[in-house]
């Protein structure tokens, strides 16, 4: 989760919403009962950079992990995210067959695991995510987001945006 937070911090300074995600594969060695953890991907939100609403950290991380292991089935893999995944990212996690999801802060607006929707409670014909852990480094994840949006609000009050002008809406309405 600390790696996901690192990713989030990097993009937060570039104007992206600071959300990070990583995929870790858990392999059990047959010769010994040891667990080996392999970091397959580490990504951050790139919605603004790519002008792509689907460029969420989780989705980019899932794609990168699948490409790295040349297999879209991310069996025995865990998705770590600094924020509770949205419906799109939860659906993608199911499609990519991840085994578990671990996240930091709840997403009160779009969270699709517990907070807003309970997408993973629905039966899925092909795959079930066996474990969900919430609240890991929750305060650090939430604080990063709070600070980012506080700064954006302060900047926003200084910068005039096209649709913040009420006249734009009147012009559209008159048509």
With a CB cutoff of 8 Å and minimum separation 6, the contacts of 15 are: 48
Q: What span, in angstroms and rounded, lies between the C-alpha atoms of 68 and 87?
A: 24
Residue 58 annotated in active site: yes
The sheet that has 35-44: what strands, in order across it?
35-44, 20-28, 77-83, 100-105, 131-134
DSSP assignment of 50-67, as one string? HT-TT--HHHHHHHHHHH
CB 101 within 8 A of CB 77: no
Tell me the DSSP string of 133-144: EE-TTHHHHHHH
Q: Select which of 16, 48, 58, 138 is catalytic.
A: 58
Q: Two tokens at 55? A: 């460029």
How far CA 116 is from CA of 109, 127, 128, 130, 136, in Å, comes to: 7, 22, 20, 20, 19
Report the catalytic residues. Answer: 58
């Amino acid at each position: 989760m600390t790696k996901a937070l690192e990713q989030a911090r990097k993009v937060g300074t570039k104007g992206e919403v600071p959300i990070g995600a990583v995929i870790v594969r858990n392999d059990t060695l047959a010769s010994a009962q040891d667990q080996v953890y392999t970091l397959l991907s580490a990504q951050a939100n790139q919605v603004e950079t790519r002008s792509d609403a689907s460029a969420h950290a989780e989705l980019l991380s899932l794609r990168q992990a699948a490409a790295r292991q040349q297999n879209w089935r991310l069996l025995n893999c865990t998705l770590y995210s600094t924020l509770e995944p949205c419906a799109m990212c939860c659906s993608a996690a199911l499609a990519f067959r991840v085994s578990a999801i671990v996240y930091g802060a709840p997403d009160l607006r779009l969270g699709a695991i517990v907070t807003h929707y309970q997408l993973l409670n629905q039966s899925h014909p092909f795959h079930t995510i066996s474990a969900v852990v919430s609240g890991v480094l929750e305060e650090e994840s939430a604080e990063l987001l709070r600070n980012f949006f506080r700064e954006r609000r302060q900047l926003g009050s200084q910068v005039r945006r096209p649709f913040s002008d009420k006249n734009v809406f009147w012009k559209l309405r008159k048509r």
